[in-house]
Amino acid sequence: MARIQGYLIDLDGTVYRGEQLIPGASQAISLLRARRRRFVFLSNKPLQSRMDYAAKLTSLGIPTEKSEVVNSSQVLALHLSREAPGAKVFAIGEPPLLAELKEAGLILTDKPEEIEYVIAAFDRTFDYRKLNIAFQALKRGARFYATNPDRTCPVENGEIPDAAAVIAALEATTGRKVEKIFGKPSRYMIETALEVLALPPEKCAMVGDRLETDIRMAKENGLTAILVLTGVTRPEDVRSSPFQPDYIIPSLAELPALDEKIGGER
């Protein structure tokens, strides 16, 4: 069995909950960095830029570079910039997603007759005008991509509608299905993360709190899957799931101890 050199770490529910760092997370990452483990931090949310995530982690006590963060908007922008450089796109999304698309050389337009790609994302400024522009473009044959498949996004006092609202509204009215989704559990996210780590899947482990995204994505792509119990999953949820982790640890604080067992030579 190959030894682990790199870790893909989910953020919300794994490193922090809202604005609260999981106890021991900072020490764990710093200990593993001393063992020269490589890291990428993964988020499905297209609401903040990679710079924002790196700044948040750093301020919480985990010094992080922008290049160590992978989120769904970046994965989508990277993929599109390779598949169709300079393509004309219309995104139902917030400013950080639009900035990411522009940075990748894509051209933003809201003219249905020009739009080559419609991007559905988590958008708290979603409205009928955007819905109709995307609808008209899709009826004319534009491609139909989405950042992330999440139904809801956890917030301080509960949850709010996520990208699934936009995807469903467009699917129901156009009769078309979204063609590619880039966030977890898609292989696109894994591919980008492995590219950043410059490691093959068998030398990497995914650490996360969700069976149907984090653990599923790891298992489907040949990574070691590590479940933490600081997020949405309870121990009793694991048995009935089709997505079985290789290891279960109480929290990220216990990752260094597990790394002693599964990590490569230092």
Binding of a copy of itself at residue 126 (CB under 8 A)? yes
Identify residues 136-155 at the interface with a copy of itself (CB under 8 A).
136, 139, 151-152
Interatomic CA distance for residues 235 and 9, integer angstroms: 20
What's the min distance (Å) between Cβ of 179 and a copy of itself?
17
Segment lying near a copy of itself (by CB under 8 A), choices 43-51, 100-108, 169-177, 234-242: 169-177
What's the min distance (Å) between Cβ of 164 and a copy of itself?
4
What's the min distance (Å) between Cβ of 94 and a copy of itself?
10
Q: Which two tokens stand for residue 62?
A: 């985990």
Rounded (5°) CA angle 126-135-178: 85
Binding of a copy of itself at residue 123 (CB under 8 A)? yes
Binding of a copy of itself at residue 111 (CB under 8 A)? no
Q: Which of 30, 58, 59, 132 binds a copy of itself (CB under 8 A)?
A: 132
CB 154 within 8 A of CB 109: no
Binding of a copy of itself at residue 18 (CB under 8 A)? no
Binding of a copy of itself at residue 115 (CB under 8 A)? no
3-state secondary structure 183-247: CCCCHHHHHHHHHHHCCCHHHEEEEECCHHHHHHHHHHCCCEEEEECCCCCCHHHHHCCCCCCCE
What is the separation, in whole angstroms, between the first and last Cα of the chain? 16
C-alpha closest to that of 253 among 225, 233, 230, 220: 230
What's the min distance (Å) between Cβ of 163 and a copy of itself?
9
Q: Which of 27, 109, 173, 241 binds a copy of itself (CB under 8 A)?
A: 173
Binding of a copy of itself at residue 68 (CB under 8 A)? no
Interatomic CA distance for residues 191 and 255, integer angstroms: 23
Binding of a copy of itself at residue 169 (CB under 8 A)? yes
* Total site size for a copy of itself, rule CB under 8 A: 29
Q: Which of 166, 189, 253, 255 binds a copy of itself (CB under 8 A)?
A: 166
Binding of a copy of itself at residue 167 (CB under 8 A)? yes
Pairing mode of beta strands 117-120, 158-161: unpaired
Q: Which of 18, 125, 236, 260 binds a copy of itself (CB under 8 A)?
A: 125
Contacts of 118 (CB under 8 A, 6+ apart): 89, 90, 91, 92, 134, 137, 138, 142, 143, 144, 145, 170
| Site of interaction with a copy of itself (CB under 8 A) | 123-128, 131-132, 135-136, 139, 151-152, 158-162, 164-173, 175
